[in-house]
Amino acid sequence: METATGKKRSQTEQVGSYLRKCNFTVSTPSTLPGAGGGQHTFDIGATRKDTNLFLDLVCEGTEISVDYVVEFFAKILDTRIQRGFLIAIPKLSDEAQKLSEMYGLSVISAETPKEAVEKLLGTVESPQSVKDARWG
């Protein structure tokens, strides 16, 4: 049986692989300095041309709790990044969803890493480029 840590690692690798197929340069993990002097680690940093994305993946059995939303918000706030996404596999709890909306966070809920990347690209690219992506 796969552990939670093993599952997250596997799904992070899959998301990174899909992003590479879309010509992103991917770092797993990616560490950025915070305004408060500390370092913050995101599961994935992805760059292509003028697009820089920082992603955290949360993989739970049924729903993602508010704790992950609060932690992600703190990272986004302290690093002051423009394009941060919390990827929830499979989805946020109702309470976590409301909190993420209140914080103005970009959250992608998906059943699979491939679906997460398709939704992610749909928010940062034109619909045609997403349609043209080859997943192999």
- pLDDT at res. 39: 96
Q: Which residues contact 20 (CB under 8 A, 6 or more apart)?
A: 26
Q: What is the pLDDT of residues 7-46, one digit of tens each?
A: 788 889 999 998 998 899 999 999 999 998 999 999 999 9
Q: Give the CATH number, domain containing residue 24.
A: 3.40.1350.10
What residues make up the domain containing 41? Answer: 4-132
Characterize the bridge pairing of strands 25-27 and 44-48. antiparallel
- pLDDT at res. 27: 96
Number of domains in the chain: 1
- pLDDT at res. 128: 40
- Largest interatomic CA distance in the chain: 42
Q: Which residues of the chain have pLDDT under 70?
A: 1-4, 126-136
- pLDDT at res. 7: 77
